[in-house]
Structure 1
Amino acid sequence: MQILIAPNAFKNSLAADQAAIALAEGLKESGLICSLSCFPIGDGGDGTMKLLIKHLCLNTVEVNTIDPLGRPIKANYGYDQKTATAYIEMADASGIRLLADNELNPMKATSQGTGLMIKDALVRGARYIVLGVGGSATVDGACGILSAMGAKFLDKKGEELKVSPLELLKLDRIDLSGLDKRIEYCRFTVLTDVKNKLLGSKGAAFVFGPQKGASLEQQEILDDFLEHLNCIWTTQLKKDAGRLIGGGAAGGVAAGLWAMLDAELLNGIDYFLKVTDFDKKLTKADLLITGEGAIDLQTLDGKGPFGVAYRAKALGLPVIGVAGNVPLQTNEQMDAYFDILIPTGHGAVSLEELKKCTAENLERTGKLIGKFLQFASKKTVK
C-alpha cells in the first residue's frame, strides 16, 4: 500500500512538515506493511513559503528588515534565479509570531518590514513576487508595504502621514510617484486561504482583528479606516476593493496590493499544489492522509486539506482527515471528500494543552490508523 501523507500546518502548534513526520512515525510503529511518502502542504497561511522553498529547492536570501513595531530584525525569502521569482512570507517580517502577546497592537503595527523584503528582491532583479500573507499582525491595507517602496500617504495639507491606521484616518491622497521604478516590470501574486472581503462584520477588522490584539472598539476603528482607505482607492485609482473576494486577507494587504500594484489574488492551495507537481505524486498513492488544526465546513472554502482531498477524490482514492477538532455530526458535504475524520485529542483537555501535545497526538493517531488498516485488510482477506 502506498500512503501519501499531506497535512497542512496545525496552527500555533506544529508546522506541516513536523505534522507529516509525526503521522509517519505512528504508521511505522503500527507495523503496517506500506510505503510512506510525506508531502507537507501550505495554502497561503504562515509557513507556506518555507515549504515552497523546500519543495522547489530554492536558494534563500537573508535581508535586514523590521518587525511590525519597527524593530530591526533579519528575515529570509526564497529566490529562483532562473525565473527571477521571489517567494516572500509576510509573517517573517510582519507576523504575529514576532510579537509577545502584550505587544499585539494593530493600531500601531505596520507591514513596512514586508515592503523592505520586497524592495530587496526588486534590487536583486525579481520580476515576479509571490507573497504568502498568512499570520500577519497588521491591519494597514498594505500601506506599510507601499511606504517602504516609496509611496507617500498625505493629508489635506499635503503633509506625509505615518502608516498606522489611526494616522491614516486623515488620509486625503496617495502619492505613488516615488514608487521604486522596478515595480513597473514586476508582477505580484498574493496567496490567501480566506475568502473574506475587506469590510464589514465578515471583513478584515472584525474577523481577524481579535487575533491581532484588537478590542471591539479598535475593530470598529480599523473597519472605518479600511473603508476610508477604499474610498481613496476608488476615487484616486479607480479600484474599488470592497467586493474583492479574499481582499480582507492579512488586514487588507490583499486588497491594498490589488488596488495599488495590480496584484492578482490566488487560492493558496491551488497555487501550491500546481507548482509543486502534487498531482504526479498523488497518482502513485493508494490512500491520502491529510489534516490541520480543525477540519469543518470552512475547510471546504479552499483550505489545504480540501485542496488535496478534492484531487484525491477525482482519482477515486480514499481520504482520511485528522484534526484537533472535527464536526460531531456527519454531513454530506464533508463526507464527499473525507471518508474518515479522526480527532487527535485524547481525553478532556483544554485547547492550550491540546496544542502542546499535537506531535504526540498525531503520532498516536498515525499508529491507530495503521492498526485499523491492518485489521481491515485481514477482514477483507477472510
Structure 2
Amino acid sequence: MKFVIAPDSFKGSMTAKEAAVAIQVGLQKIYPDADYELVPMADGGEGTVQSLVDATDGDIITANVQNPLDETVTAFYGVLGDGQTAVIEMSAASGIQFVTEETKNPLITTTFGTGQLIKDALDRGLRRFIIGLGGSATNDGGAGIAEALGVRFLDENGQQIARGGAPLAQLVKLDMSHLDPRVAESEFLLASDVTNPLIGETGASAVFGPQKGATAVMVAELDAALTNYAKVIKTQIGVDLANTPGAGAAGGLGAGMLAFTQAKMQSGISLVVAATALVTKSANADVAFVGEGAIDFQTQYGKTPMGAAQAIKQASPDAKVIGLAGYVGDGIDALYDLGIDAVFSIVPGAVDLPTAMKAGEANLTRTAENIARLLNTK
C-alpha cells in the first residue's frame, strides 16, 4: 500500500508538514509497513516558503531588510533542496502584518524590502526565483523592489522620487542604467491566482487598496499614480501593463516584476506542484490525502486541495483521494467529479475555534487512523 500525503497548512493550527506528519502517524497505526510519500503543499501565499523547504529538504535564510514603513526588520526566504531556487513570500518583508490600523497607509508603504530579499539571494548565487504575491501592505506597483535592484525613479527635475504608491504620480523618467545585471540572468516565476489588472475599477487600488487603509479619496489618488506609472513604463520600456491580467496582484507588484524582470505569472498551486515534483512522487499511489483548514464549494476554484488532488490523479488515476479539513462547508458535491473522492471533517464535535485549533494535530491523527481502519480489509 502506498499513501501520498499532500496537505496545505491548517492556518493557526499546523504547518503543512505538521499536518502531513499527523496524518501519517494515524495511518501507521493500521498500516505500519506501508510506503509513505509526504509532500507538504501551499498555493503561493502564506506558508509557501515553509512548505517548499520542507518538501525539498531546503533551508530558511534570514536577512535584515526594510519593512513597508521603511523600518529595519528581520525577514526570511527559502532555498529549495536543489540549491538553485529561492522562494520568497513578498509578505515576509512587505506584508500587512507590519502595519497597524493606525500606521497602514498605501500612499507611503513600499516593497523595497522584498527587493532586498531578492538581492540577498542573488548575492548567494541563486538565479531562479519563485515569488509569492499575497498579503501585501503596499500599492507601489513593485517600484520598491525595482529600486532595491538598482532602478531609479526620477521626477521632472531628475531627482529620485520618494517610496510608496502616491509618489508614482511624480514619475517622469526611469533610469535603468544601474539595474543589477544579475536580474537579466535570472528566472522569476510569480505565484498568484489574482487576475486583476493594474488600474481601473478592478485594479490594484480600487479592489485591494481599502483593506490596506485607503479611503475613497486615497484610492483615486493611488489609481492615478499607477496610471502614470504604467504610462511611463509603456513609453520608456515598451511594455503595456495597465490592463494586463495579474499586474494588479500585491498592490501592483505583479506589474513591477513584469516590467523590470523577465517574470512569468503562474497559478500558485501549479508552481508548488512542479517544485515539489508531486506528480512524480504520486506514481503508483493507492490512497492520497489532501486538505487544509476549510473545504467547501470554493475549493474547486484553484485551492490547494483541488490542485494537489488533480496532480495526484494525473499520476495515479485509480488512487482514492481523501480530503481532510477542520471545516467542511456547502457545495462539496462538486469536488467528487474533479479529483477528490471523499471529504471528512476532523473536528469531533461542537467546540469553539481556539479549542479546535489547539487539538488540530490530535484530531487529524485520529481521523486518519479511523479512515485507515475503514480501508483495512484484513
Q: TM-score, normalised by structure 1?
A: 0.83
User: What do residues 300-327 of structure 1 show as CA deviations (whole Å, max 9, x unaligned)?
Assistant: 3433222211123332222222334444
For the Cα contact (< 8 Å) 1:193–1:303, is it kept in 2?
Answer: no
Contact 2:86 2:130 in 1 (8 A): yes
Which position in structure 2 is the counterpart of 1:172?
172
How has the CA–CA distance of structure 1 residues 344 and 58 changed in structure 2, closer, same or farther, with 3 Å as cutoff?
closer
Q: Deviations over 1:303-361 (max 9, x none)?
A: 32222111233322222223344441344466422222334566677xxx636733524
> What residue in structure 1 maps to residue 31 of structure 2?
33
Match of 1:142 in 2: 142
Matched, 1:322 2:320: no
- Report the AA paired with residue 368 of structure 1: T
The corresponding residue for 1:341 is: 343
Task: For residue 258 of structure 1, report the CA deviation from its aligned partner.
Answer: 0.5
Aligned length: 374
User: Which moves more between the two structures, 96-105 or 315-324?
Assistant: 96-105
**Could you say if the C-alpha distance between residues 141 and 333 of structure 1 is closer, same or farther in structure 2, counting changes exceeding 3 Å?**
same
**Cα displacement (A) at 1:38:** 2.9
295 and 127 in structure 1: CA distance in 2 versus 1, 3 angstrom threshold = same
Correspondence list, 1:265-276, <5 A? 265-276=265-276
- Paired with 1:62 and 1:219, the residues of 2 have a C-alpha distance of 34
Give the letter for the 2:227 counterpart: E
What is the one-letter code of the residue matched to 1:53?
V
| 2-structure distance, mates of 1:377, 1:63 | 49
Deviation at 1:245, TM superposition (A): 3.2
Q: How does 1:126-275 map to 2 (within 5 A)?
A: 126-275=126-275
- Offset from partner CA, 1:6-36 (integer Å, 9 cap, x none): 11123455432233334445556xx543645
- Contact map agreement 1:45 1:193 (CA 8 A) in 2: no
Q: Specify the code of the residue in structure 1 equivalent to 2:31.
A: I
Is contact 2:38-2:55 (8 Å) kept? no
Counterpart position of 1:364: 363
| SS of the residue 1:169 aligns to | helix
SS in structure 2 at match of 1:357: helix
Whether 2:11 is the aligned partner of 1:7: answer no
Deviation at 1:171, TM superposition (A): 2.2
Distance (whole Å) between structure 1 residues aligned to residue 8 and residue 214 of structure 2: 27
Consecutive unaligned residues in structure 2, runs of 5 or more: none
Shift in Å, 1:142? 0.7
Letter in 2 for 1:226: L
Letter in structure 2 aligned against 1:33: Y
Deviation at 1:255, TM superposition (A): 2.0
Quick check: 330-339 or 116-125, which moved more?
Answer: 330-339
Offset of residue 288 of structure 1: 1.7
- Kindly state the Cα deviation for residue 296 of structure 1 after the two structures are TM-superposed: 4.2
Alignment CA distance shift 1:99-1:129 (3 Å): same
Shift of 1:293: 3.4
- Partners of 1:273 and 1:192 lie apart in 2 by 14
Q: Alignment partner of 1:292: what SS?
A: strand
Looking at structure 2, the residues matched to 256 and 237 of structure 1 have their Cα atoms a distance apart, in angstroms, of: 12
Residue 90 of structure 1 deviates from its aligned partner by 1.9
Query: Cα offset for 1:217?
Result: 4.7
- Mark the CA change 1:244 to 1:319 in structure 2 (over 3 Å): closer, same or farther: farther
Structure 2 distance, partners of 1:93, 1:191, is 16
User: What stretches of structure 1 of length at least 5 have no aligned partner?
Assistant: none
Q: Residue 135 of structure 1: SS of its match in structure 2? A: coil
Query: CA-to-partner distance for each residue in 1:25-59, whole Å, 9 max, x for gaps?
Result: 5556xx54364543211221122123323333335
Q: Residue by residue, what CA displacement relative to the aligned partner does 1:97-138 show, whole Å, maximum 9, x if unpaired? A: 344454433332211011112222233333333322333322
SS in 2 for 1:109: coil
Change (3 A) 1:3 1:97: farther
Deviation at 1:274, TM superposition (A): 1.9
Q: Which whole-Å CA distance do the structure 1 matches of 2:82 and 2:360 have between them? A: 41
| Helix, strand or coil at the partner of 1:246 | coil
CA deviation string 1:132-183 (max 9, x = no partner) = 2333322211111011122122223333211211222222232222222332
- What is the distance in 2 between the residues matched to 1:84 and 1:192? 21
For normalisation by structure 2, the TM-score amounts to: 0.84
What's the RMSD between the two structures over aligned residues? 3.2
Q: Is the 8 A contact 1:324 1:354 kept in 2?
A: no
Q: Equivalent residue of 1:185, what SS?
A: coil
Secondary structure of 2:288's match?
A: strand
Q: Could you tell me which amino acid in structure 2 is paired with residue 181 of structure 1?
A: P
> What amino acid is aligned across from residue 176 of structure 1 in structure 2?
M
Equivalent residue, structure 1, for 2:302: 302
Query: Is the alpha carbon distance of 1:292 and 1:271 closer, same or farther for their aligned partners in structure 2, counting shifts above 3 Å?
Result: same
SS of the residue 2:252 aligns to: helix
Which piece of structure 1 moves more, 266-275 or 214-223? 214-223
